[in-house]
Amino acid sequence: MSLFGEPGARECSRSGCREAAVWRIDWRNPQIHTGDRGKTWLACDEHREFLNGFLSSRGFPVSVSPLSQEPEAPAHSAG
C-alpha cells in the first residue's frame, strides 16, 4: 500500500478534512483482520485525537506515529 503515490493520499482521513496529514494511525479490527493485516488512516494535528479516540473506543489495537516514521505494531487496548 502506498501512502504517497495516490492523489490526495497525504490528506487527513477525517471526513471533509483536506488538511495535510502529519500523523499515521495504524489500526486493525481483530474480528476481520488477522495479526499481520491492518489499516492506516492519516491525520492532521487537529483530528489526530478524534480519529485515535474513534478507533480506541471500539477496542481496536491502535498505534499513532509521525507520518515520516515507519509504523509500530498496534498496541492492544484493554477494553
- The full DSSP string for 12-79 is --STT--SBP-EEEEE--TTTS-TT--EEEEE-TTTHHHHHHHHHTTT--EEEEETTSPPPPPBPPP-
What's the pTM value of the predicted model, to 2 decimals? 0.73
Question: Is the pLDDT confidence value at 3 over 70?
Answer: no
What's the pLDDT at 68?
Answer: 83
pLDDT tens per residue across span 9-32:
689 999 999 999 999 999 999 888
pLDDT tens per residue across span 40-65:
999 999 999 999 999 999 999 999 99
Question: Is the pLDDT confidence value at 74 over 70?
Answer: no
